[in-house]
Amino acid sequence: MVVNGGGTGIRRWVVGWTGASGAVYGVKLCKELLAAGIEVHLVVSDAGWRVLKEELGWDAARRQDSLAAGLGLAEESRLRYYPNGDIGAAIASGSFRCEGMAVVPCSMGTLAAIAHGTADNLLTRAADVTLKEGRPLLLVPRETPLNAIHLENMLKLARLGVRMIPAMPAFYHGPQTLEDAVNFVVGKVLDGMNVPHRLFRRWGETDDNT
């Protein structure tokens, strides 16, 4: 995939998908970002590819084709995909300019690696760079129940300014479908990225959003 632009005035985010259940959250987030005209620099862990296969039926052996089909990409798009083993990719450097990074969904293993600075692959290195450069880092942990190790790692990152957005759908907006529940979580991530959306009815809004 080819990224258009990259110059002044084009918004740019790094997105990571990991092996936690909830691959649909990451897919929906990327679709929304691309539809908003935002450059997406995507890295997917090997476990993330397995979850994409198990939950969404993606062909993990044909990754570029799966991304194009699953995200509905045109021949040219604002998405750039990096293999997780490409530790020398652009997003591994602090000189790479972007607004921040979101890991959606975020496994407990990835969360622990970020919390302890174990930057041994591109995804965790990109997250480490995001932290050291003082850029927004948003994590969507998807695990239950949570043990003390999970909670301590989340607290450590939260104290560093990392935004924790657990995959916890709300019900005040009257979700009728699974897509409605997914949209709520993704909408909260977009709020944290300062990206306008209409994925769910906010508290106090009417059905016609007036």
Which residues does 15 contact at the CB level (< 8 Å), separation at least 6? 26, 29, 30, 33, 40, 41, 42, 43, 101, 102, 103, 104
Structure confidence at residue 51 (pLDDT): 97
Does residue 132 have a known ligand-binding role?
no
Does residue 188 have a known ligand-binding role?
yes
Does residue 95 have a known ligand-binding role?
no
Does residue 110 have a known ligand-binding role?
yes
Does residue 19 have a known ligand-binding role?
yes
> Does residue 209 lie in a domain region?
no
Structure confidence at residue 206 (pLDDT): 72
> Does residue 2 lie in a domain region?
no
Whether the pTM exceeds 0.85: the reply is yes
Domain count, the chain: 1
Structure confidence at residue 52 (pLDDT): 97
Helix (H, G, I), strand (E, B) or coil at 39: strand
Structure confidence at residue 71 (pLDDT): 94
Helix (H, G, I), strand (E, B) or coil at 178: helix
- What averages of pLDDT result for each successive group of 10 residues across the chain (210 residues)? 49 97 98 95 97 96 92 84 96 97 98 97 98 98 97 98 96 92 96 95 72
Structure confidence at residue 10 (pLDDT): 85
Does residue 20 have a known ligand-binding role?
yes
Q: What is the CATH number of the domain that holds 97?
A: 3.40.50.1950
Does residue 108 have a known ligand-binding role?
yes
> Does residue 206 lie in a domain region?
no
Name the residue range of residue 64's domain.
12-192
Does residue 142 have a known ligand-binding role?
yes
Does residue 172 have a known ligand-binding role?
yes
